[in-house]
Structures are given as structure tokens and as C-alpha cells.
Amino acid sequence: MQEKVNAIIAALKKRYPDAPCALHYSIDYQLMIAVRLSAQCTDARVNLVTPALFEAYPTLEAMAGADIAHIEQLVHSCGFYKHKARDIVLACQMLLHDYGGKVPGTMEELLRLPGVGRKTANLLLGDLYAIPGSVVCDTHCIRICGRLGLSQGKDPEKVETQLRKILPPEESSDFCHRIVLFGREICTARSPKCDTCPLASWCVERPQ
């Protein structure tokens, strides 16, 4: 298994030398907001919405004091806008009151923030703090790692636990970013491009 994992990591690195986060942000709390907006929404849509949001509320203090109804208007196209707008304002208030205006750097502290689950927390830990072992289990990760035989099931927390056991901790965050790129380009949910897939030899679900 470890040889397989290393080979998959190497192949993904070759295809995607850089492994950037797809969400655009300048300050730590902006990434927290962008990830919250990305739930049940595409990163592309979020990147269209956040410039106006961050321009309207250019500081953490401004975001924490924002009118939730106005936030709802700005993020409406991301879906579930009422829940997302509320979580954004409450989370920013908590950053100010409890964490000195900074996104905290531990899983336990992050999970206290409204709207932050393990997927969001792992992404923040990996991208903001380069914490080894940060595994972001989004739909791409769950689908593709299942197809490759690296994990079983579709429960995000269980898949995260399985991947933590086999991914080199220093590679896990970038691996998850590369999996997203791979899932958009090759291993799509429907009609994956198996004929041109660089990981086909390791896939357990490819057509025979």
C-alpha cells in the first residue's frame, strides 16, 4: 500500500507541480469565510462572490459588525445563504473576542467557530499553518480515493482517518489540493476520462 501511495503522490506531483488552494484570499480570516461559502457550492462561484464581500467589509472588525441581512444579499448565489451569512458574522466575532483577531491554529479551537467542521479546519491548518497530517476530505477526495482503493466508504471523518494512516503527513495537504485538480480535470464524478488517466493502473474501479 505504501508503495502505491508514494507512486500516486509522485504521479500527481508530476501533473500538478504546484498545489495551490483554489479559493482566493489575502488574509487568514478571508480563507475561513471562503471555505464556509464553498459548502455545496463551487470554488469558482465563491471566487466571484468574495471580492465584493471583502470590499464591502475590508477588515475583520467590519465583518464582525456587519448586518447579517446585507451579508445574505452578497453571498446569496452561493446557496444556503442565511446559514452562511450568520456563521460568517458570528465566527468573525469569535475571532475578535476569543482569539485575538487571528484564525486559531489547532483543530479543537477551530471546531468551536460557527460553521467550521473538520474539512474546513483541516484546510485552514494545512494552508495557513502548514500543519502536517491535514487531510481535507471533500467530495473529490472521497470519490477518488475510493476509486483508487486508498479508502472505503463515504463518511468524511472515516475516510480522513483512513488516509491519515497511509499519507505521509508532510504530503497530505498538498495531496488533497492536487486531488481536487485531478477530480476536475480527469476523475470527474460522471464520465471520468479513464483512457487518459495517469492513475489508471492503480484504480480499482476502472472499466476492464
* Residues recognised as catalytic: 119, 138
Q: Do 24 and 34 touch, CB atoms closer than 8 A?
A: yes
Q: Is 108 exposed, middle or buried (0-12, 13-18, 19+ CB in 10 A)?
A: exposed
Task: Give the span between the Cα atoms of 94 and 207, in whole angstroms.
Answer: 50
How many Å from the N-terminal Cα to the C-terminal Cα in the chain? 22
H/E stretch holding 27: none
Q: Do 120 and 134 touch, CB atoms closer than 8 A?
A: no
Amino acid at site 86 = R
